[in-house]
Chains A and B, each alone.
Chain A
Amino acid sequence: MQSLQRRWRILDFTVAGMIGVLGGIIFFGYNWVNPVITTPLQLALPGSQALLSGVWLIPAVLGAAIIRKPGAAVLTEVIAATVSALLGAQWGLLTLESGLVQGLGAELVFALFGYRVFTAGVLALAGAVSGLAMALNELVIYYAETGPWYWLVYLLAGATTGALIAGVGSHLLVTALSRAGALNRFAAGRTRQPRE
């Protein structure tokens, strides 16, 4: 039995940073695309526009799924948010706050499983909780004046998108990356059992 290594390697920091930076750059583009493509959803069912917000949660789940150490979800998501804010995200400082809240949501689930279980199901759950945290945060800050139905739809949409886009999406990404041998230095990319 291999002992769990909780101490972060320098490699863990640089990989968290790199996923964050990559995420931040994608956020920066998606930040401006999202309001446009979600308008039809919003008209069909108010609150359901959150169904496409899962993209913003991918770094948290992906970072934790690769690094598998305490704090990975929060660090990766906060870096992604910071990068997109530095590039010029329309929510400015609130981008950082959202990043922190979303990262904490995912982190909570991984912590509950003791940073030992990283199956597709756990990733989906982490995505869902992260999505709930995101939805709650946005309702308070941007949509405080709306009514209870709006809140309910928004929360459900947040959890769904988190589970599907961030959770299942990250699982697929980890699989693709490890197939290319890019995760050989991470437990996530380990296909062979350790010797004895």
Chain B
Amino acid sequence: MNIRSIEVRRLTWWYHNRERAALRDVSFSIDQGERVLVTGASGSAKSTLLQLLVGALTAGDDGELRGECTVTAHPVALLSQEPHTQVTARTVGDEVAFGLQNLSVPRAEILERVPAALADVGILDLTDLPPEELSAGQQQRMLTAAVLAMRAKLLLLDEPTSLLDAASAEVVRRALVTHMSDPRRTTLIVDHDEATWRGAVTRVLELREGELVRDERIDTHFQWPTGAPGSARSPKRESAGEPGTRHSQTALNVGKIAEPNHDRAVVLTARDLEVGYDDAAVARLENFELRQGDIVAFTQESGAGKTAAALTLSGLNRPVSGHLTPPVHELDAASLTTVVALSFQHPELQFVHATVDAELDHRRDLALALGLESVRSAHPLTLSGGQKRRLSIAAALAQEPSVLVLDEPTFGQDDESAEAIRVLLAQSAARGTAVVVFSHDLTWCDRLGATRLNLQPVARTRHAKAAARRWFHPFAKLFSITAVTLSLVLTSSLLSVGVAAVGVVVLVLLSPTLRRGLGRYLGPLAALATLTGFTVALYSSATDEPFFQLLWAQLSADSLALGATAALRVFSIALLSIAVFRSLSLAEVGVALEQQARLPARATVSTMATLSSVTALQRLYRQRQNTLRARGISPQRGLRHLSASFIAVALLALRRAELLALALHARALDGAARRTQLFTVRWTWRDRALCGVAVAAAFSIVALHGVAR
């Protein structure tokens, strides 16, 4: 008797606000140990099925469900598409540990499993880096390590090697094979390319527009086909440059365009160009010349700096050093769009309008060519992943620039769509547009007739692990400032508040931790305190003889004293709190809330995960500025512009929240009971002492107030 892992019976699923059901009357069951491929064209609801299986979609809140969808295997782990949206932690190592913590794996075992899983996918050397600094392919490997380390009974993989070059794909594949061959584990792989996975799976399910059209068992012994899978679309036969980590110093030749045709005009040149983010270079492009009608492709392994190069050539990122002619990064938005247009790596960053039609500048031909005709009136953000990317390409084409830069144009496209994109680009080049493609899809680039070029890697220094020494428990710090603040609110004499203010200033000056970076707050703080003081002085309820009077306002000796008290009070409360708050670490507060305050892990972790996106939101805002610039919209001021950009950022933020929720489901947070903590925040004698001192200080302030009375 086989053990059941998944039981789906007559399942129909509607998303809210959609007329058509996403999944219709789907029935199948999967037993333990099965390795199943789910296939189907883009838009066939493969991802919806995975989200239902991992528990990220609930009937009622997210849509309506009829029939039955039961998952008995536990735990379940999911590797979803778009890895950059699935980051939950601050370092690669912590990211892999996250799922294990949720499964209450003992700490010692986590410390063994994490490096083992990272080594399995070949990125052990990236352990201490922040995930957002990784390339898309490296992030995909990191998340593969994360789900493999969980040793889930049911593993769901959504296009697991789609972002990888051939060499890394081979490494990941080997790790997946080992995992899948354990008969206690059930694996479900979603991919629209069946040939890639034949031989590795025991069964194929095919979805077409939400209906199950095929359920076929394959008799095979477990073996990978020759001509092993490399990309989501087609088997990869060639290796993209030297396999190796990003720290390798392998110098790759910087090619020049083969047989340059000097009859055509030069549209873009780069000399000694270093590309990267802010001041950190990630790749070099020494000698690059682009003429009208050229088609070139950068096809290196992930992590080579392709996206940084795409952003720089499009005039969105400033070159770290070197020269670009024309100096695209210095052009104003309107002139930039006639020179160069970018199809972003993440298509959602492309969109500035409310309808597909407007994004395309009402170009019906583009909509027809890329299969977007039926969705012309839809909001761009509501399209499927594949459609969004095609729209992003079409929108860049519609700008009719002299240089067209495309970052991973074929990702998530089935063969037919990839061919449609290829034809459009070839036509565009024939009309004189220079086309620059950044892609790991070698066969497609060759079919496009692109000249292959390479970026030269720049060695990067590794981040030192931040090991900040912690003196006090975060709750002790909070308790102490609460006590002092309360005593200041309760007292109103110039003497007590004045002494407190001096005390706070002395404390802050004495402690290097509190003092750090506080300087820029002092001016505004002093101004604010003075303003509050004046308000209170002018409108106080003092009853002595005023020496100045105007309408409601009056000044007297008593009212000036009241004003000074209010000003000093605001100043001391604010200075103390700002200084202490800036010394708190979010990670610490999160752990303390879970460990000491015993708040439920589900609530604490999912909320704290979003708090760490403060920097991500700042990045979203910067990306939004990039989008506007790339689409030729100059920065404007005024309330209308402000509210428009607020809504645009809010849309991206909500989308991020949705994907983050999926990431948390994917790593089994929903069922987490008592999570393993990687570090503990302990309450020690130092914390008791701090609280004691704070209480004593608070009482002294109140006592001084009594004396002054």
Interface residues of A (CB under 8 A from B): 2-3, 5, 8-11, 13-22, 24-26, 32, 35, 39, 42, 46-47, 75, 79, 82-83, 85-95, 141-147, 149-150, 173, 176-177, 179-187, 189-192, 194-195
Most A-side CB within 10 Å, residue of B482, B610, B614: B610
Neighbour of B64 across the interface among A8, A26, A95, A194, CB < 8 A: A194
Chain A: interface secondary structure?
helix
The digit string for B359-385, where 1 denotes a CB below 8 A from any CB of A, is 000000000000000000001011000
Q: Decide if A184 touches B16 in the complex (CB within 8 Å).
A: yes
B-side interface size class? 35 or more
Q: Decide if A147 touches B578 in the complex (CB within 8 Å).
A: no
B135 vs chain A, min Cβ distance (A): 25
Known: A22-B653, A145-B492, A184-B16. A195 touches B64 (CB 8 A): yes
CA distance A175 to B610 in the complex (A): 24
Q: Decide if B669 touches A24 in the complex (CB within 8 Å).
A: no
Chain B residues near A16 (CB, 8 Å)?
607, 610
* Residue B611 CB within 8 A of the other chain: yes
CA distance A86 to B573 in the complex (A): 15
Neighbour of B482 across the interface among A14, A17, A93, A185, CB < 8 A: A93
Known: A11-B658, A83-B614, A87-B614. A185 touches B62 (CB 8 A): yes
* Residue B177 CB within 8 A of the other chain: no
Most B-side CB within 10 Å, residue of A13, A19, A83, A191: A13
Q: Decide if B647 touches A176 in the complex (CB within 8 Å).
A: yes
* Residue B703 CB within 8 A of the other chain: no
- Interface 9-mer from B217-225, B524-532, B689-697: B524-532
Chain A residues near B140 (CB, 8 Å)?
none
Q: Decide if B651 touches A180 in the complex (CB within 8 Å).
A: yes
CA distance A24 to B532 in the complex (A): 23
Interface residues of B (CB under 8 A from A): 14-19, 56, 58, 60-62, 64, 354, 379, 381-382, 478, 481-482, 485, 489, 492, 521, 524-525, 527-528, 531-532, 535-536, 538-542, 552-553, 562, 565-566, 570, 573-578, 580-582, 584, 586, 602-603, 606-611, 613-614, 617-618, 646-647, 649-651, 653-658, 660-661, 664-665, 669-670
Q: Decide if A21 touches B611 in the complex (CB within 8 Å).
A: yes
Known: A17-B607, A21-B611. A145 touches B381 (CB 8 A): no
Chain A residues near B669 (CB, 8 Å)?
10
Chain B residues near A179 (CB, 8 Å)?
354, 379
Q: Decide if B379 touches A79 in the complex (CB within 8 Å).
A: no
Top 5 nearest A-B pairs (CB, nearest first) are: A92-B577, A17-B610, A13-B606, A11-B661, A18-B657
Q: Decide if A9 touches B58 in the complex (CB within 8 Å).
A: yes
Neighbour of B60 across the interface among A2, A26, A150, CB < 8 A: A2
Neighbour of A90 across the interface among B382, B525, B566, B606, CB < 8 A: B525
Q: Decide if B524 touches A195 in the complex (CB within 8 Å).
A: no
Q: Decide if A25 touches B614 in the complex (CB within 8 Å).
A: yes
Known: A46-B538, A92-B581, A184-B16. A145 touches B566 (CB 8 A): yes
B690 vs chain A, min Cβ distance (A): 15
Known: A10-B661, A79-B607, A185-B658. A25 touches B618 (CB 8 A): yes
